[in-house]
Amino acid sequence: MELRYISIKQILDDLLEHPLLKDLTLERAVNHAVHFIRIVGMPPIFEEKVATLEVVDYRTALPCDLFKINQVRIKEEGGAKGIFRYSTDTYHMSDTD
């Protein structure tokens, strides 16, 4: 199923065409939209992905759809050398694969 998005400003413009809603403000519309989403729920927007990136001189190009890094793994020929997981403020070496 393809997710389709619409701006809250477009929804507000459509609502303001109704004569009884002329005094509706953007803040109130956003407040009602958030309340509605809390009631009915919302499908997850972000998708968890795995990417293999080549690092040269401690740098690499990050994917354009990157939001958050959950884990970093050092990969060498013959298998993984180590896994780094987020722990408070820094990444640390994990004992397990």
Q: Which of 45-49, 70-74, 76-80 has the lowest mean pLDDT?
A: 76-80
Tally Cβ neighbours within 10 Å of residue 60. Answer: 11
Let me know whether 33 and 62 are in one domain. Answer: no
Mean pLDDT (the chain) is 78
Mean pLDDT of 28-41: 87
Cβ atoms of 15 and 25 closer than 8 Å: no
Q: What domain count does the chain have? A: 2
Let me know whether 66 and 26 are in one domain. Answer: no
Let me know whether 53 and 94 are in one domain. Answer: yes
- Over the stretch 5-32, which tens digit does the pLDDT of each residue have? 788 889 889 988 999 988 988 899 889 8
pLDDT band at 97 (very low <50, low <70, confident <90, very high): very low
pLDDT reported for residue 96: 54
Structural domain harbouring 18: 8-40
